[in-house]
Amino acid sequence: MHKMILPTLLSLALLAPGIAAAQSATPSLPAWDQLTPQQREQLTAPVRERWNNSTPERRQHMLDHAARWEAMTPEERTRARQGHKRWSDMPPERREHARALYQHMRNLPEAERKAMVDRWKAMTPEQRRAWVEANPATNP
């Protein structure tokens, strides 16, 4: 009997994060005002630590990001989450390419941007690598 307790406890420990994630998606969780002080601390501590360890410029960026997020519609937030996931799942080389291409195109007029996208799509992987080497992102 005792031989089964340890594997069972280990299994439960491994499943706990998944269960917690599933529970967090349920509407039965309390509103912020109903959370205990410990629960609130658990939620806010990582942000506080990141804030305290940040430069003034980074803090301003965090505030600006929060304001933009607050102004988004639910659909825009969903698209933003999907874009973040797509970026996180992207291989490092593709991220480097995306950064370089974005920096190059961000201030181009619409017609030139479209032409650059068309050229990019027509390039081979080797041509893209060469283009990125010739046009590196300045602030990865």
- Cα separation of 13 and 25, whole Å? 20
Report domain extents, the chain: 37-89, 91-140
Q: Please provide the distance, in angstroms rounded to a whole number, between the alpha carbons at the two ends of the chain.
A: 56
Query: What DSSP state is assigned to residue 108?
Result: S
For the segment 83-120, what is each residue's pLDDT rounded down to a tens digit? 999 999 999 999 999 999 999 999 899 999 999 999 99
Dihedral of alpha carbons 95, 101, 102, 103, sign: positive
Segment among 27-31, 45-49, 69-73, 114-118 with least mean pLDDT: 27-31
In order, the DSSP letters of 14-64 are: HHHHHHHHHHHTSTTSPPGGGS-HHHHHHHHHHHHHHHHTS-HHHHHHHHH
Q: What is the pTM of this model?
A: 0.56
Please provide the size of the chain in residues.
140
**pLDDT score for 28:** 85
Mean pLDDT of the chain: 85
pLDDT value at 5 more than 50: no
pLDDT value at 13 more than 80: no
- Cα separation of 20 and 12, whole Å? 12
Segment among 6-15, 27-36, 100-109, 111-120 with least mean pLDDT: 6-15
**pLDDT score for 20:** 54
- Summary count for the chain: helices (H), strands (E): 7, 0
pLDDT band at 140 (very low <50, low <70, confident <90, very high): low
